Amino acid sequence: MARKKLPPVAREEAHTVGALLRGLRRAAGYRAVRDASSAAGFPAARQTIYAYERGGLTPSLQQFLELVEFYATRPGSGDGAKSEEDLRAQAVAAVTRVLTLRAYHVRQANDLIERLQPSLGERRRRSR
């Protein structure tokens, strides 16, 4: 089966994703994108992060999760870094928020799962 081209991400959603990433970066103590992108193991190129944070590009869900994990587990040494507990809570909130966006199609997946579930009144017969 041929893959369908995905619809473009709404501008508002792209800006939401960018704001979440920017907030996490700053909460992790990275004042500038270049500080984060120069850290060992950073999962994206500097220009890519600029584009994500501006809302010009939207990362895949996998890329978003990798960035969130990096920020939450490898905070920088900047003065503005939140405590580990607060940073992890902010990371969980960011992941929870993006899973509600149409851009990542999780809502559609949950709707499909719900439609495929048998109704509670139906009984399935066992074949012997």
Q: Are 13 and 47 in contact (CB under 8 A)?
A: no
Q: What pTM value is reported for the model?
A: 0.83
| Backbone angles phi and psi of 115, in degrees to 5 | -65, -30
Mean pLDDT of the chain: 90
Query: In this predicted structure, what is the pLDDT of residue 45?
Result: 97
The pLDDT-based confidence of 120 (bands split at 50, 70, 90) is confident
| 58-117 confidence digits (pLDDT tens) | 999 999 999 999 999 999 987 789 999 999 999 999 999 999 999 998 988 888 889 998
Query: In this predicted structure, what is the pLDDT of residue 7?
Result: 75
112 vs 95: CA distance, rounded Å: 21
Specify the residue for token string 């850290």.
39
Query: In this predicted structure, what is the pLDDT of residue 107?
Result: 86
Q: Is residue 128 predicted with pLDDT exceeding 60?
A: no
Helices and strands counted in the chain (H then E): 6, 0
Domain residue limits, the chain: 11-116
| 31-64 confidence digits (pLDDT tens) | 999 999 999 999 999 999 999 999 999 999 999 9
